[in-house]
Amino acid sequence: MASDITSIQVAQSPYPWGDSRPYNSYSSYWKRSCGFRVQKLSVDAGFTCPNRDGTLAYGGCTFCNNDAFNPSYCDTKKSVGKQIEEGIEFHKWRYKKAQKYLAYFQAFSNTYAPLAHLKAIYEEALDNEEIIGLVIGTRPDCVDAEKLDYLAELNEKYHIIVEYGIESCYDRTLTLINRRHTFSQTTEAIKQTTERNIRCGGHLIFGLPTESREDMLKEAEILSSLGLHSIKFHQLQLLKDTPVLKQYEDNPNEFCLMSFEEYREFIIDFLERLSPNIVIERFCGEVPPRFHSAYNWGILRNEQIVQSIERRMIERNAYQGSRYCG
């Protein structure tokens, strides 16, 4: 994990996280840690979720359309090893500077299975010599001490990151989006993960029903206290064929949706309040246009968004942690 950062001086460059970007970026973190570019490649190992298969509920999260996030080389009909081979070939063409890879178990809840099955698929991924670690996306109610102890053993040899779908710090919101777990379960899972020295990531969505701008800004302080290593931010995307789209159409006043320009100012305000120790993996989500409804930003590529936010941060003399009071 990156060394602790306790203070930032105004206009200091490079910043304490080691470069001149005004936030603690994920790509720079891996370059500092490994000395070269590390690229994630997605794997779909055929998991489901307890709020999807009937264990807790059916239908999954109201915002979820997993097809919108899975790359073309991900196919549950192919073995984990085959998906990784094809993913490496794809990324060698797209990201020519990448030297090693992290296998990203992305779709649904990737610890939601018996430990023996998890061992088999994780170790199949790690058999490829170009894979130096795993990123495991899951829910906070789908881990236990036995699984985390195993991941801690892997972490002694490989880079292991467990990413939890936090989505919101408010139980009322978690209920509305059909998560079927509480925020206290999230904090406990993060605590158990970090206590084992496993890097812990999180996902947070801005614009969920009933949350005001002030509610969302308060989450910066909450997240900063959890010991997270990294975080991904997502604007609420009202995708086709999702329950949240109907929720919005029925009750639009319950949502704090933002234009891109409004979101850009908001995310900078949020970053200023966030601990500078947390590595920022992404500012927003991106899905193919065919999944968009009429309420999304349209065709804005991730690199355009990042460049726009960085430029605006420089214009505002803003940087991650400048208003952090931890």
What letter would DSSP give residue 207? S
Spatial separation of the C-alpha atoms in residues 61 and 83, rounded to whole Å: 26
Instruction: Count CB-CB contacts under 10 A for residue 20.
Output: 10
The pLDDT tens digits for 38-52 are 999 999 999 999 999
- CATH number for position 199: 3.20.20
317 φψ region: left (φ > 0), alpha (ψ -120 to 50), beta (else) = left
Kindly write down the DSSP assignment for every residue of 305-324, as one continuous string.
Answer: HHHHHHHHHHHTT--TTTT-
Q: Which residues of the chain have pLDDT under 50?
A: 1-12
Radius of gyration (Cα) for the chain, nearest Å? 19
In a domain, 325, yes or no: no
Q: In what order do the strands lie in the sheet with 159-167?
A: 37-43, 98-105, 131-138, 159-167, 199-206, 230-235, 279-282
Residues 6+ apart with CB under 8 A from 234: 203, 204, 205, 206, 282, 284, 285
Helix (H, G, I), strand (E, B) or coil at 206: strand
Provide φ and ψ at 279, rounded to 5°.
-80, 130
Q: Which domain holds residue 297?
A: 26-315
Into how many domains does the chain fold? 1
Q: Is residue 138 part of a domain?
A: yes
| Residues 286, 280: Cα–Cα separation, whole Å | 16
Considering the domain boundaries, does residue 18 fall inside one? no
Under 8 Å between Cβ of 84 and 92? no
CB 280 within 8 A of CB 21: no
d(C-alpha 225, C-alpha 305), whole Å:
27
The C-alpha atoms of residue 296 and residue 238 are separated, in whole angstroms, by: 7
Contacts of 204 (CB under 8 A, 6+ apart): 166, 167, 168, 219, 223, 231, 232, 233, 234
Is residue 141 assigned to a domain?
A: yes
What are 235's strand-pairing partners?
Answer: 206
Q: Which helix (H) or strand (E) holds 40?
A: strand 37-43
Produce one character per residue of 36-64: b if its CB has 16 or more CB atoms within 10 Å, e if not. Answer: eebbbbbbbbebebbbbeeeeeeebbbbb
The pTM of the whole model exceeds 0.95: no
16-30 pLDDT, tens digit each: 898 899 999 999 999
Give the type of residue at 88.
I
Q: What local confidence, expressed as pLDDT, does residue 285 receive?
A: 87
In a domain, 81, yes or no: yes
Does residue 13 lie within any of the structural domains? no
Q: Is 100 a member of any domain?
A: yes
Q: Is residue 15 part of a domain?
A: no
The alpha helices in the chain, defined as continuous H runs, are: 26-34, 80-94, 115-126, 145-155, 171-176, 183-195, 213-224, 243-250, 260-273, 302-315
Whole-number pLDDT of residue 231: 98
